[in-house]
Amino acid sequence: MYIPGNSQPSRLLWGAFAASLTPTGNTPFTSTHPCLLIAGSALFKLVSRIVGSAKSAVPALHDFSSDLEPELHISLSRPIYLRAHQREDLKRAVKQIAEKTLPFVASFAQLTQLANDEGTRTFLALEIGAGYHEFKCLADMLTPTLHAIRQQEFYSTPRFHASIAWALLDWRPF
């Protein structure tokens, strides 16, 4: 789980921490090896070729490879904004769910383009194929906890994915 986040809230929430629920190597949601893009690996080469090709068509596209070995993150929640007193309760609930969850295999099935809820960014993403049901079960188990802290559940028909590039959309306020 990633708390706090580095994303900016779409609206000012004084005292809130931006967060997202993402399986990482630091939680029991995953095995000890998160999905790293290791330089020289087949996946790294494939993602690099995809992003390079996409950037030639859309020069405003930014990739997520600021690190030498970036991780692919698959979100189990929308971006959420937590008050300081909510963080520990959420961490505890996530840990309880993770302890009940057996490790599983997941794979990417296709490339897709997604936009954020505000319509200000578009993302080039690798969408999950195998493992979709297991990710859906995790997201569904998180829903009561999210409702308890007055947050939205994940989408009714979620599209689990790892974003590999993004671009700002031409957004103008009314």
Q: pLDDT per residue over 81-92, tens digit each?
A: 888 888 888 888
Residue 17 has what pLDDT?
Answer: 61
CATH pick for 16-168 out of 3.40.50.300, 3.40.1190.20, 1.10.630.10, 3.90.1140.10: 3.90.1140.10
- pTM, rounded to two decimals: 0.76
Q: Say if CB 86 and CB 150 are below 8 A apart.
A: no
CA distance 57 to 140: 37
* Token representation of residue 34: 């998160």
pLDDT, tens digit (0-9, with 9 covering 90-100), for 2-58: 333 334 434 444 555 666 666 654 444 433 345 667 777 888 889 889 999 999 998
Give the tens place of pLDDT for each residue, 63-115: 876 555 667 888 887 888 888 888 888 888 888 998 998 888 888 999 999 99
- Domain residue ranges of the chain, discontinuous segments joined by +: 16-168
Rounded CA-CA distance 44/167 in Å is 20
